[in-house]
Amino acid sequence: MVAVDARTATKVVVQATINGEPVQFLAEPRQTLLECLRDVLSLTGTKEGCADGNCGACNVVMDGRLVNSCLVLGVEAAGASITTIEGIAPVGGLHPLQTAFLEQAALQCGICTPGFIVSASELLKRNARPTEDEIRFWLAGNLCRCTGYDKIVRAVLQAAEMIHPAA
Amino acid sequence: MDDFEYVRPGSVGEAVALLAEKPGRARAMAGGTDLLVQLKVGRRTLDRVVDVKGIAELNEIHVGSDGGITIGAAVPCHRVYDHPAIVAGFPGIVDSASIVGGIAIQGRATLGGNLCNGAPSGDSIPSLAVVGAVAVIAGPSGRREFPVSEFCTGPGQTVLGADELLVAIRLPAPPPRSFGHYLRFIPRNEMDIAVAGAGAWVALDEAGVVTAARVVLASVAPTPIEVPDAATAIIGTRGEATALEAASEAAKAAARPITDMRGTQAQRRHLSGVLTKRALAGAIARARGEHVPGAHEAHRVHASATH
Amino acid sequence: MPAPRATPMATVFIPPALRDLTSGATTVLIDAPTVRALVEELDRKYPGVRDRLCEGAYFRPGQTVAVDDVAFTNRVAMYQEVGPDSEVHFIAAIAGGAAGASRH
Amino acid sequence: MTTTADRPATSSPTRVISINDGANIIVSHGDYAVIGTRPVRHDGVDKVTGRAVYGGDTRLNGLLFGKVLRSPHVHARIVSIDTSKARAVPGVHAIVTNADLPTAEDREVNLGEGGGNLKYMSDNVLASDLVLYKGHAIAAVAAINVHVAEAACALIEVEYEVLPAVHEIKAAIAEGAPLVHPSLTTKSLGKDTGVHSNITNHARLQIGDPDAAFARADVIAEGEFTTTMVHQGYIEPTNATAMWYADGKVTIWTSTQGSFAARDSTAQILGLPVSRVKAVPQEIGGGFGGKINVYLEPVAALLSRASGRPVKLIMTRAEVFQATGPAPGSYSKVKFGATKDGRLVAASAEIYMESGAYPGSDTGAAMRCLYSPYKIDDMRVDGYDVLTNRPKTAPYRAPGAPQAAFASEQVIDDLARKLGMDPVEFRLLNAAHEGTRLVNGPLHKKVGGIEVLEQTKAHAHYQSDLGTPSPGTKRGRGVAIGYWFNIGLPSSVAISVNADGSVTLVEGSTDIGGSRASIAMQAAEILGVRAEDVRPSVVDTDSIGYTGVTGGSRTTYATGLAAIEAARHVIAQMTARVAKVWSVSPDEVSHDHGAFRAGTRSMSFKDAAGHLDETGGPITGTASLDPQGHGGAFATVTCDVEIDVETGKTQVLKWTIVQDAGKAIHPSYVEGQFQGASAQGIGWALSEEYFMNSKGEMTNTSLLDYRLPTAFDVPMINTVIVEVPNPGHPFGVRGVGEASIVPPMAAVANAIRDAIGVRMHALPMNPGAILHALGTI
């Protein structure tokens, strides 16, 4: 049954795990995961920069994979485990990447920072000591207009060393 | 975005029935990285989206005893370039799968979706076509197979019927000493759509002479196009400069590019020659057992040192 | 460069847009304590100058003055003091990266 | 989760990873306790954890979502608008058009920093009878969600009478071109010429007699150059939320570079007294000059009045490109003359710049900057503002100067080649300094051009060889210098002392690049406390004195000065209190390095704060000022490129930017300005452009085809901070936000010329253009 009247589009109950917590929310099929996170669940840490997969500001981790949440439907998240920026830091502290971004001044306006930190956290899970080029290739899908990327690369390197200190 | 009904069938039969019920108003979705963008900007409107990620068969990668591999239509790019057998047997396909969009896009986008989107610039289509890949299609009256090299019929148009579902892509067993290589040209180093692309595949005999070859170009015609003359120019040679040059000229002659915001006709025609030469050289080197890096093995030539 | 002066008076540089009123003179000596008085005096000597430069009691939007190499913003320009041997230039008021590129 | 961070984020940095040591050099001046250190910014934790609230994150009870209907035509008359079908869509609460705005008078409005013509500003927010560019706003809908609003927009029926359009500068200035504003005539040198054309203004700046001087020149170089329209590229789309209350008051929540500018512009356009409007600045996701004008605030307010509900509008990326304020395309002709011993003697230039759909562009700033690095006795520049059927242009970081420098610094490069001189030596020989006359009349005050050029020459990068090119490529090195005059404008700050010796600092400057830290550090230096003991907060327009935009590289300078004055006001009051504690007269008590002293006795700021309640109660120091002592700044870029001659693709291998900051308050964020502007310059040079089809419609309206540089496209960016103090600030601060974007495009062009021997005369220098320049296609 398709809603002819846009207002009463059929909502679906979606059950997912978000930042380690079981969550239920209502979503119209057309609402993206990004829209559900921000406007339904008020998790506004995930940002929208383009809505078509070209800027990375909306990146989240879904079932262990980095994805653009603007190109995933909310209803597709049923049964999935999702990590957003709000779930990166441990209780009462910061993730090494968050500390490194602050110490290296790797953000200016900060709108792209959540996306960069989520993306970089996935890189460091796969590659404990990435090179400058490997960091740049992995983060190529995250656009930043303020920093010129230099200090972001330095922050990821510092975080890698904090997580796996050189012998 | 206009609303639509979202369904997630558990079997191929169920999916086919859901598509057949609304011909032209329902469409299969795997990664959705092309489809959702089209729906958002109104380039396509649908009553029903059939999410096929719930169908086991479409998520499988099956390696045959003969070395042939079948890749489910819903297998995302990251599982393709992380799969040892594909990396070993089909490096050209790994070249493509690792440059579709960025890392986040590759978490969702599939080779099946890239093929069904049928864009002339589809990065995976040339590298699948040159290895003789075959599309496994299911419809109301059963299954059929169709060569990838003829799958696209126009910009965004394919042979797939409105009531048909792409189930998998079958890669035939590669003959010995045979590999592919895919290169595209983009103004940036990532996150771009091919201004031009070239997929090449060669098989060598024990003496290192090319016994078989295929070249398919992207972004220089309404569909990806095969260039038989480029293949004949390289067959029987060892990939010397003159042979590569002849193949390059054949590619340029076959190209029918347009001018748009991504590139001019003259630029695309020229690039189709350059990329054919380089893709063939890469394929031949791989067939000889040399390691040829893809764009994802980032080796930008410079040191970032200040001094 | 301006001619050497006998009595202490400010040197006013006339921009190209006003030289038709000053019959081609590029610099003029004016004795006045403030920019407002200087403009009044200039207008007495070369009628029409005040109307070109000002709109009511202020410089027109996009117009201001620099006294001894300090460029003042449009609204405060009239209040600035002028020294006995100051250099005065009528220049465009540009807020640069701010809202107002030069307005006409 | 991985391991827990082992120490709190707010500790000062203990470790800075340097990939290539010597990447970030400071040629330091002056010795301070807090100034020059690198504390973690006060608002940092919210931003790295996703808790910071940006404009788009605004949440209000009963919030409706708006959508704007935009013109599909490049130039047309609106014959009729029928909203009846749209109103019938369930979930639609309000629809507004230009008819809902008060009739705006055709008069200049002063918004405290330039301002503009009220009718043009109003018509640009919602078109009256004419749409002048594709994407021009016509109507807006507020509904229960953005999808319903979108569906309703599609049902608004507009009848157009399509008009001829022109969207390129050269076409717009050609004889018989279609007129964007048929009623406007060209003002030339301040006089109305009565000629109806797309050129709305011709201004000229001249010193001496360049034509005569060219006759005396031994060597002359000249060239014509064009650049295309580009966008600031801020990642957060333009947004606004508004509530029109029953008592006629209006509050707007927005991401803006200037909450007072947003308040005043919105009030003018809505025909309200400023006292009825309050602007609440949320965090801003980048602006670079593009978030000073208001585009959505008045529309959200009208929708709120009509619906009685708060309304939020957020632009899509395609709307940001087509309907905000891009930077103008330009067409420049530049000529320089020099004697055979390398002395510049003559310069002349003509600069045409796009103002877009309404008059007013950046020619004034471009004219002021292009000769400013040099000492030239006879020089002239003519500037022309050219209307085109494109969005009204807005500032983009040193607006106008980068386009002018792309032309002038390439001709200077040619001149140095003809003279056989090293390009840095040639610039040093002719470098401007204190007392050098500027083309608009006044003399340079104390500036650091020579020091910047000397550091450029001495840098390891300039001394290094280019290295062997990869197979099939050519390498080249280019250098260029740029100038930006920076501005002052008013700012206000209030500082209150807490009993524990910490202070709260309230300011109106929105924080785009870490200015909360640089303002707090200046107050801390004066108070003699740690930067971490100052709690800065950016507040709304009802909570602080008037403060100008965060733009023009003014914030750390002007709001810094206000923080210094407010801190001195605190110290004066604390001194009196300490005198009371010691029962001595206030003039016997001195204060320096955080301690009050009288004879042998001393008391820390912290202890003094403990006595406030018993000596007279709380203390607040305030300052509102309109500083006029801002100092200009020079920047050079040295860059190495490698070009694949078969594909025409240019890869930037190495980049070094040297810039005079006067005094770097927080060096990390000063380096960040240099590095961010460099990357924007690289994009502007190599890949960014508004690609228009033959009808004048932008076709690359996504971040896929409008190519911003990615992390994988640019190298590490080496910085050198030179400190030649600006006498107009106690610590010597000069603005640093804009000078760095002036030289990059010219430096890349000079490097490409060095690599392939061909001068590139147009931007972007993309692979197709380079293949064409090489004659390959």
Touch between D and B (at least 3 CB pairs under 8 Å): yes
Residue type, C75: R
Contact criterion met (CB below 8 Å) for D235 and A57: yes
C-alpha pair distances (Å), D312 with each of C3, D144, D271: 63, 11, 21
Closest CA to D540 of D250, D113, D251: D251
Tokens of C47: 């009628």
Contact residues, B window 34-63, toward A, CB-based 8 Å cutoff: 36-37, 39-41, 47-49, 51, 53
What's the sign of the alpha-carbon dihedral D242, D546, D737, D560?
negative
Contacts of B305 in chain D (CB under 8 A): 20, 654
Contact criterion met (CB below 8 Å) for B36 and A32: yes
Give SS3 for D81.
Answer: strand
**What local confidence, expressed as pLDDT, does residue C1 receive?**
47
Interface test with D, best of B100, B306, B307 (most D CBs within 10 A): B306
**What local confidence, expressed as pLDDT, does residue D115 receive?**
65
Q: Which domains does chain D have, with CATH numbers?
A: 18-31+446-486+631-777 (3.30.365.10), 491-625 (3.30.365.10)
Tokens of A32: 């993206």
Contacts of B104 in chain A (CB under 8 A): 53, 56, 59, 66-68, 119, 141
> Does position C103 have pLDDT exceeding 70, yes or no?
no
Round to whole Å and give the CA distance between D632 and D448. 9
Tokens of D1: 């989760």
CA dihedral D165, D118, D625, D395 (to 10 degrees): -10
Q: Phi and psi dihedrals of D440, rounded to 5? A: -90, 10
| Interface residue B105 vs chain A (CB under 8 A) | yes
Q: What tens digit of pLDDT does each residue of C18-71 get?
A: 988 999 898 999 999 999 999 999 999 999 999 999 988 889 888 899 998 888
For position A121, which CATH number holds?
Answer: 1.10.150.120
Structure letter (DSSP) for residue D533: G
Is there a contact between A1 and B104 if contact means CB atoms under 8 Å apart?
A: no
Task: Domain B9-18+57-171: give its CATH architecture.
Answer: 2-Layer Sandwich (3.30)
Q: Which helix (H) or strand (E) covers residue D579, if one does?
A: helix D560-581
Neighbours of D26 (CB within 10 A): 16
Burial degree of D434 (CB within 10 A; 0-12, 13-18, 19+): middle
Contacts of A among chains (3+ CB pairs under 8 A) = B, D
**What local confidence, expressed as pLDDT, does residue B263 receive?**
94
Closest CA to B191 of B102, B91, B64, B96: B102
Round to whole Å and give the CA distance between D165 and D107. 26
Q: What tens digit of pLDDT does each residue of B193-221 get?
A: 999 999 999 999 999 999 999 999 999 99
Neighbours of D427 (CB within 10 A): 28
Return the axis-axis angle of helices A150-163 and A113-126, rounded to nearest 10°: 40
Touch between A and D (at least 3 CB pairs under 8 Å): yes
Contact residues, A window 19-48, toward B, CB-based 8 Å cutoff: 28-30, 32
Nearest CB to B108; choose among A6, A52, A72: A72
Based on the domain organization, do A56 and A78 belong to the same domain?
Answer: yes
Could you tell me which chain D residue has the CA closest to the CA of B191?
D704
Could you tell me which chain B residue has the CA closest to the CA of D653?
B302
Q: Write out the CATH class of domain B178-287.
A: alpha beta
Structural domains counted in chain A: 2
| Interface residue C36 vs chain D (CB under 8 A) | no
Contacts of D among chains (3+ CB pairs under 8 A) = A, B, C
Could you tell me which chain D residue has the CA closest to the CA of B2?
D147
Touch between A and C (at least 3 CB pairs under 8 Å): no
Could you tell me which chain D residue has the CA closest to the CA of C60?
D108
> Does position D2 have pLDDT exceeding 60, yes or no?
no
Computed on alpha carbons and rounded to an integer, the radius of gyration of chain C in Å comes to: 13
**Who's near B264: CB < 8 A, 6+ residues apart?**
D768, D777
**Strands ordered across the beta sheet of D130-131:** D130-131, D76-82, D157-162
**What local confidence, expressed as pLDDT, does residue D29 receive?**
85
Interface test with A, best of B103, B106, B186, B188 (most A CBs within 10 A): B103
Query: How close does chain A come to B92, measured CA to CA in Å?
Result: 19
Contact criterion met (CB below 8 Å) for B169 and B136: yes
Boundaries of every domain in chain B:
9-18+57-171, 178-287
Is there a contact between D17 and A157 if contact means CB atoms under 8 Å apart?
A: yes
Go through A53-72 and write b for each residue having 16 or more CB atoms within 10 A of its CB, e for each that does not: bbbbbbbbbbeebbbbbbbb
Last residue of a domain, one of A53, A87, A121: A87
> Does position B304 have pLDDT exceeding 50, yes or no?
no
Q: What tens digit of pLDDT does each residue of D608-640 get?
A: 999 999 999 999 999 999 998 999 999 999 999
Could you tell me which chain A residue has the CA closest to the CA of B190?
A140
Within a domain: residue A124? yes
Q: For chain C, what's the residue count? A: 104
Based on the domain organization, do A61 and A133 belong to the same domain?
Answer: no
Q: What tens digit of pLDDT does each residue of D518-550 get?
A: 999 999 999 999 999 999 999 999 999 999 999
Nearest CB to B37; choose among A52, A137, A141: A52
**What local confidence, expressed as pLDDT, does residue D28 receive?**
87
Q: Which helix (H) or strand (E) covers residue D410, if one does?
A: helix D401-419
**Who's near D200: CB < 8 A, 6+ residues apart?**
C104, D181, D184, D186, D187, D355, D359, D360, D385, D386, D387
Contacts of D460 in chain B (CB under 8 A): 306-307
D497: pLDDT confidence band, cut at 50, 70 and 90?
Answer: very high
Q: Phi and psi dihedrals of D322, rounded to 5? A: -90, -20
Average pLDDT over residues B211-240: 98
> Does position D351 have pLDDT exceeding 70, yes or no?
yes
Average pLDDT over residues B115-142: 97
Round to whole Å and give the CA distance between D683 and D677. 10
Enter the ipTM.
0.94
Nearest CB to A2; choose among B4, B33, B39: B4
Which contacts (CB < 8 Å, 24+ apart) does range B226-235 have?
Answer: B226/B129, B226/B149, B227/B251, B227/B254, B227/B276, B229/B253, B229/B254, B230/B254, B230/B276, B230/B280, B234/B202, B234/B210, B234/B280, B234/B284, B235/B210, B235/B211
Asked, as a colleague might, if the bond just before D210 is cis with ω within 30 of 0, I would say no
Average pLDDT over residues B2-19: 96
Q: Phi and psi dihedrals of D297, rounded to 5? A: -55, -50
**What local confidence, expressed as pLDDT, does residue A7 receive?**
52
Average pLDDT over residues B134-163: 97
Q: Which domains does chain C have, with CATH numbers?
A: 10-92 (3.10.20.30)
Q: What is the mean pLDDT of each run of 10 residues along chain A (167 residues)?
A: 52 97 96 97 98 97 98 98 98 96 97 98 96 94 98 97 89
> Does position B307 have pLDDT exceeding 80, yes or no?
no
D340: pLDDT confidence band, cut at 50, 70 and 90?
Answer: very high
| Interface residue A65 vs chain B (CB under 8 A) | yes
Round to whole Å and give the CA distance between D582 and D314. 59
Is there a contact between C101 and D488 if contact means CB atoms under 8 Å apart?
A: no
The strand pairing partners of D162, in sequence order, are D76
D21: pLDDT confidence band, cut at 50, 70 and 90?
Answer: low
Last residue of a domain, one of A44, A63, A87: A87
Owner of token pair 């001829």: D164
Go through D84-108 and write b for each residue having 16 or more CB atoms within 10 A of its CB, e for each that does not: eebeebebbbbbbbbebbeebeeeb
Q: What tens digit of pLDDT does each residue of D477-492 get?
A: 999 999 999 999 999 9
Is there a contact between D777 and B266 if contact means CB atoms under 8 Å apart?
A: yes
Contacts of B300 in chain D (CB under 8 A): 651, 712
Contacts of D287 in chain A (CB under 8 A): 109
Based on the domain organization, do A83 and A108 belong to the same domain?
Answer: no
> Does position D110 have pLDDT exceeding 80, yes or no?
no
Based on the domain organization, do A108 and A71 belong to the same domain?
Answer: no
Round to whole Å and give the CA distance between B304 and D379. 41
Round to whole Å and give the CA distance between D193 and D180. 18
**What local confidence, expressed as pLDDT, does residue C9 receive?**
87
Is there a contact between D460 and B185 if contact means CB atoms under 8 Å apart?
A: no
Pair type for strands B48-51 and B26-29: parallel
Considering chain D, what percentage of its residues have pLDDT values greater than 70? 97
The strand pairing partners of B48, in sequence order, are B5, B26
Within a domain: residue A1? no
Residue type, D713: D
Structure letter (DSSP) for residue B73: T
What's the sign of the alpha-carbon dihedral B32, B33, B34, B35?
positive
Round to whole Å and give the CA distance between D578 and D612. 9
**What local confidence, expressed as pLDDT, does residue C5 receive?**
46
Query: How close does chain B come to A67, measured CA to CA in Å?
Result: 4
What phi-psi label fits residue C59: left (phi over 0), alpha (psi between -120 and 50 degrees) or beta? beta
> Does position C89 have pLDDT exceeding 70, yes or no?
yes
**What local confidence, expressed as pLDDT, does residue C95 receive?**
56
For position A52, which CATH number holds?
Answer: 3.10.20.30
> Does position B190 have pLDDT exceeding 90, yes or no?
no
Tokens of A12: 């679906």
Within a domain: residue A65? yes
Contact criterion met (CB below 8 Å) for D431 and D342: no
> Does position D20 have pLDDT exceeding 80, yes or no?
no
Within a domain: residue A34? yes
Nearest CB to D113; choose among C52, C55, C99: C99
Return the axis-axis angle of helices D667-686 and D515-527, rounded to nearest 10°: 150
**What local confidence, expressed as pLDDT, does residue B180 receive?**
97
Give SS3 for D66.
Answer: strand
C-alpha pair distances (Å), A132 with each of A138, A155, D470, D679: 10, 11, 20, 17
Considering chain B, what percentage of its residues have pLDDT values greater than 70? 96
Contacts of D716 in chain A (CB under 8 A): 132, 150, 153
Tokens of D137: 């706003």
Domain with A157 in it = 96-163
Residue type, D12: S
Q: What tens digit of pLDDT does each residue of D444-488 get?
A: 999 999 999 999 999 999 999 999 999 999 999 999 999 999 999
Go through B17-50 and write b for each residue having 16 or more CB atoms within 10 A of its CB, e for each that does not: ebbbebeeebbbbbbbbbbbbbbbeeeeebebbb
Q: What tens digit of pLDDT does each residue of D402-440 get?
A: 999 999 999 999 999 999 999 999 999 999 999 999 999
Contact criterion met (CB below 8 Å) for D455 and D720: yes
B302: pLDDT confidence band, cut at 50, 70 and 90?
Answer: very low
Go through D158-177 and write b for each residue having 16 or more CB atoms within 10 A of its CB, e for each that does not: bebeebebbbbbeebbeeeb
Is there a contact between B108 and A132 if contact means CB atoms under 8 Å apart?
A: no
